């Protein structure tokens, strides 16, 4: 898998993200075209920040005050790929929700983030991201600093309330930089990161770096490289993927409660869930509960286990490699008596060789109920058809 790793070394803003993604290999002409449809032709240059050269993006757009609807009209009319426009729309809706949570306004008016340069930065970052063709995005801990900043409503504490609202609930980690000077993460930067992130950086499999680059910020503080780093990486394994395994022990729940807990985690994205009978301490009977899930879903599913089972701790075993066979579903013609049906058969392959073929159970049961035949007879007929098909023959009659 190709993963984009965003490392906001000294912060994150719209222009820094555009610069970092371009430096990591983003399509410069596509980005220029999407941004130029909103502002005058943007400038992509280079700037030195404490000895690190980064791409510096300049738009020179003036201030503007717009409603969300006005911003979305501006975005929708941009000369950008449809996916980039849709991504930019989601970013501005995030911004609107954050502003509403801070100000309590039903009719949110954008000030700084409604200006043409912010719209161009969001479109440019969305276009650059999509041009990289990555399968996921991880964000390293986001730096936040103290102090105040001048905003349309007056002097606001840092990090800005909208920035805090945007980072909340995303699962992204933050770190405070006590000696920072000024705003490190803007609301636009926070909204882009929140929309981009798909996985925790802690769950990354071993990888090789394919490309890397830096986006330079507007300020150049002494002794601190004001840059954002972007890396496009590829995981080292070639077959399968990585999962997280959650485990907990319980000895004080009923079978009904356990069944409901397993059903809930499966509904919320778990790949597998089990309750294994176990002899616990003091000779009590209980369960070892094990849930296999995508790494990004681990924290949410652990919370469900805690809520449903009352357990005080859930162990997380991250970074477990899983072999994933090639899978397909093929319909096979089966005849029983005078009736012929197509039965779906799940095939499993490794390196092009089929090692398992399993008919869809619910279809077998339905056929058995309709004909009055025992299920095992229907299953044998289907198995003979599968075997005959594998040898290159036709249908099988029962």
The values of phi and psi at residue 372, to 5°, are 80, 5
Beta partners for residue 241, in sequence order: 322
In this prediction, residues 334-347 reach a mean pLDDT of 90
Radius of gyration of the chain (CA): 27
DSSP state of 38: T
Phi-psi region of 306 (alpha: psi -120 to 50; beta: other; left: phi over 0): alpha
- Interacting residues of 385 by C-beta distance below 8 A, sequence separation 6+: 332, 333, 334, 335, 343, 395, 396
Residue 34: helix, strand or coil by DSSP? helix
pLDDT for res 305: 95
pLDDT for res 180: 87
pLDDT at 140 over 80: yes
Instruction: State the Cα–Cα distance between residues 72 and 90, nearest whole angstrom.
Output: 10
Q: In percent, how much of the chain has pLDDT > 70?
A: 91
pTM of structure: 0.64
Instruction: State the Cα–Cα distance between residues 91 and 162, nearest whole angstrom.
Output: 13
Instruction: State the Cα–Cα distance between residues 289 and 273, nearest whole angstrom.
Output: 7
Q: Which domains does the chain have, with CATH numbers?
A: 2-235 (no CATH), 242-322 (3.30.70.1380), 326-390 (3.10.20.300)
In this prediction, residues 326-351 reach a mean pLDDT of 87
pLDDT at 397 over 50: no
Instruction: State the Cα–Cα distance between residues 236 and 313, nearest whole angstrom.
Output: 32
pLDDT for res 366: 92
Assign 72 a pLDDT band (cuts: 50, 70, 90). very high
What would the pLDDT profile of 112-138 be if each residue is shown by its tens digit?
Answer: 556 888 999 999 999 999 999 998 899
pLDDT at 106 over 60: no
pLDDT for res 112: 54
In this prediction, residues 190-199 reach a mean pLDDT of 93
Beta partners for residue 320, in sequence order: 243
- Interacting residues of 195 by C-beta distance below 8 A, sequence separation 6+: 87, 90, 91, 94
In this prediction, residues 300-313 reach a mean pLDDT of 92
In this prediction, residues 211-225 reach a mean pLDDT of 94
Instruction: State the Cα–Cα distance between residues 170 and 301, nearest whole angstrom.
Output: 15
Which H/E stretch holds residue 85? helix 82-103
DSSP E strands in 42-135: the ranges are 43-49, 52-58, 66-67, 109-110
Lowest mean pLDDT among 43-47, 96-100, 173-177, 358-362: 96-100
Assign 173 a pLDDT band (cuts: 50, 70, 90). very high
Residue with tokens 């089972």: 309
In this prediction, residues 223-235 reach a mean pLDDT of 94
pLDDT for res 364: 92
DSSP state of 201: G
């Amino acid at each position: 898998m190709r993963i984009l790793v965003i490392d906001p070394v000294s912060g994150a803003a719209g222009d820094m993200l555009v610069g970092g993604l371009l430096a990591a290999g983003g399509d410069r002409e596509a980005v220029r075209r999407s941004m130029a449809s909103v502002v005058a032709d943007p400038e992509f240059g280079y700037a030195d920040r404490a000895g690190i050269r980064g791409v510096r993006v300049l738009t020179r757009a003036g201030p503007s005050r717009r409603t969300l609807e006005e911003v979305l009209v501006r975005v929708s009319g941009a000369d950008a790929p449809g996916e980039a426009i849709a991504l930019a729309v989601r970013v501005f809706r995030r911004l609107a929700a954050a502003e509403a949570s801070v100000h309590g306004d039903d009719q949110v008016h954008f000030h700084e983030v409604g200006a043409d340069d912010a719209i161009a930065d969001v479109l440019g970052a969305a276009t650059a991201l999509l041009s990289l063709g990555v399968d996921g995005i991880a964000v390293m801990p986001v730096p936040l600093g103290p102090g105040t900043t001048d905003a349309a409503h007056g002097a606001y504490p840092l990090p800005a309330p909208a920035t805090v609202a945007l980072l909340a609930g995303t699962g992204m980690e933050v770190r405070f930089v006590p000696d920072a000077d000024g705003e490190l993460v803007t609301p636009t930067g926070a909204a882009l990161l929140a929309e981009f992130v798909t996985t925790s950086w802690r769950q990354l499999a071993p990888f090789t770096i394919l490309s890397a680059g830096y986006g330079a910020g507007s300020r150049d503080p002494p002794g601190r490289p004001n840059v954002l780093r972007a890396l496009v990486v590829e995981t080292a394994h070639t077959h399968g993927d990585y999962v997280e395994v959650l485990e907990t022990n319980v000895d004080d729940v009923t079978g009904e409660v356990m069944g409901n807990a397993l059903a809930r985690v499966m509904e919320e994205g778990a790949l597998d869930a089990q309750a294994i009978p176990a002899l616990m301490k003091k000779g009590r009977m209980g369960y070892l509960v094990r849930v296999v899930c995508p790494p990004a879903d681990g924290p949410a599913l652990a919370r469900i286990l805690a809520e449903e089972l009352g357990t005080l701790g859930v162990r997380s075993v991250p970074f477990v490699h899983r072999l994933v066979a090639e899978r397909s579903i093929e319909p096979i013609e089966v005849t029983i008596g005078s009736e012929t049906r197509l039965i779906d058969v799940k095939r499993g392959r490794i390196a092009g060789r089929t090692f398992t073929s399993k008919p869809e159970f619910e279809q077998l049961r339905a056929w058995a109920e309709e004909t009055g035949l025992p299920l095992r007879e229907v299953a044998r007929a289907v198995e003979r058809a599968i075997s005959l098909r594998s040898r290159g023959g036709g249908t099988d009659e029962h």
